[in-house]
């Protein structure tokens, strides 16, 4: 696990955009899994800026998103499809047919889950998956539970999630109580994971996820099972981490420029 803690959010977003940019250069077979919410807004702004300058291109990319509310039409401005279009997709060169997100308006949500699983199977494991974390530790809409199924599924949102997300809904009481989410197994299937968390409201979930027991009761903790997890935190989100993890993050920062300069073990041969 590579944890990086930032005092400056624009540097955090720049590093996140570097990681996405690296995945975009991975060729036509590589995919990017993206997420919605306030957390990735700065990253998407940076990706749009880099695209406008011609530094990156989505022309060969495939993008798949984590989740969608059930019961909204695909063009509902409150939906995650609309969010992705507004914040990123309308501003970059991704061919529209290569954007995949569960369809919350499908007549049979269970069938839609199987369709989305088939999409993920088709994409395969060469995928960078970007995720945020909820204040209750959820990832995508995988809410805390006794156990978490592997694949895409219909979920009932927790009261806390409904309350938090209603603030972004217009009108707030229209927020659906159910959603379709990529399963935690499919999230872990990606060959690289990027977790971003910002703000003190995330500090407890982040500390639990990165330093507490690995448990479905805190879905973010399951991300630690992944061999290639990068975590980008602002200082507030990192504030409750145990000192040893903060020290690891500081050490990694000290070493990283040397690795980037080519002084790592592999380049010495």
Q: Which two tokens stand for residue 226?
A: 């992944």
The yes or no reply on residue 39 touching ligand PGA (CB under 6 A) is yes
Considering the complex, state which of residue 30 and residue 142 has its C-beta at the smaller distance from ligand PGA. 142
The C-alpha torsion from 162 through 89 and 196 to 188, rounded to 10°, is 90
Q: Which member of 33, 132, 137, 176 binds ligand PGA (CB under 6 A)?
A: 132
Residues in the chain: 269
Q: Which member of 6, 12, 17, 37 binds ligand PGA (CB under 6 A)?
A: 37
Residues in contact with 146: Cβ distance below 8 Å, sequence separation at least 6, in sequence order: 216, 217
Q: 207: alpha, beta or left, given left = phi > 0 and alpha = psi -120 to 50?
A: alpha
Q: In this chain, which residue has its C-beta nearest to ligand PGA?
A: 37
Do 39 and 196 contact (CB within 8 A), yes or no? yes
Beta-bridge partners for 154: 180
Q: Any idea which residue has 């690891």 for tokens?
A: 248
Q: Which member of 25, 28, 29, 38 binds ligand PGA (CB under 6 A)?
A: 38
CB of 38 to ligand PGA, least distance (A): 4
The yes or no reply on residue 220 touching ligand PGA (CB under 6 A) is no
Q: Which two tokens stand for residue 166?
A: 């209603």
CB of 164 to ligand PGA, least distance (A): 7
Q: Which of 15, 46, 67, 68 is catalytic?
A: 67
- In the residue annotation, 138 being an active-site residue is answered as yes
* Per rule CB under 6 A, count of chain residues that contact ligand PGA: 7
Cα distance between residue 227 and residue 196, in whole Å: 17
CB of 203 to ligand PGA, least distance (A): 12
Q: Which of 46, 68, 143, 234 is catalytic?
A: 143
CB of 135 to ligand PGA, least distance (A): 7
The yes or no reply on residue 134 touching ligand PGA (CB under 6 A) is yes
Q: Which of 103, 112, 138, 142 is catalytic?
A: 138
Q: Which two tokens stand for residue 84?
A: 């992705």
The yes or no reply on residue 219 touching ligand PGA (CB under 6 A) is no
Considering the complex, state which of residue 57 and residue 215 has its C-beta at the smaller distance from ligand PGA. 215
Angle, CA 34 vertex, CA 31 and CA 39 arms, to 5°: 150
- In the residue annotation, 67 being an active-site residue is answered as yes
Q: Which of 15, 68, 103, 136 is catalytic?
A: 136
Beta-bridge partners for 81: none
**Strands across the sheet containing 192-197:** 2-6, 229-234, 192-197, 127-131, 31-34, 62-65, 99-100
Residue ranges in contact with ligand PGA by CB under 6 A: 37-39, 132-134, 138
Residues with catalytic roles: 67, 136, 138, 143
């Amino acid at each position: 696990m590579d944890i990086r803690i930032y005092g400056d959010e624009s540097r955090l977003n720049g590093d996140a955009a570097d990681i996405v940019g690296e995945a975009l250069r991975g060729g036509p077979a590589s995919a990017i899994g993206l997420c919605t919410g306030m957390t990735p807004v700065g990253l998407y702004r940076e990706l749009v800026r880099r695209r406008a300058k011609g530094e990156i291109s989505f022309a060969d990319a495939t993008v798949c998103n984590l989740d969608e509310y059930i019961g909204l039409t695909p063009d509902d401005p409150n939906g995650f499809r609309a969010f992705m279009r507004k914040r990123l997709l309308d501003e970059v060169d991704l061919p529209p047919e290569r954007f995949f997100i569960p369809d919350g308006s499908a007549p049979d949500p269970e069938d839609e889950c199987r369709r989305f699983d088939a999409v993920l199977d088709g994409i395969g494991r060469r995928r960078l998956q970007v995720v945020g974390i909820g204040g209750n530790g959820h990832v995508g809409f995988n809410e805390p539970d006794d156990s978490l199924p592997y694949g895409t599924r219909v979920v009932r949102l927790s009261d806390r999630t409904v309350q938090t997300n209603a603030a972004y809904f217009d009108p707030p009481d229209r927020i659906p109580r159910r959603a379709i989410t990529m399963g935690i197994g499919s999230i872990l299937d990606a060959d690289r994971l990027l977790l971003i968390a910002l703000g003190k409201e995330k500090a407890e979930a982040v500390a639990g996820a990165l330093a507490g027991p690995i448990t479905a009761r805190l879905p973010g903790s399951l991300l630690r099972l992944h061999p290639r997890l990068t975590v980008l935190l602002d200082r507030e989100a990192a504030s409750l981490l145990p000192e040893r993890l903060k020290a690891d993050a500081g050490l990694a920062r000290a070493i990283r420029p040397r690795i980037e300069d080519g002084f790592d073990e592999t380049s010495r041969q």
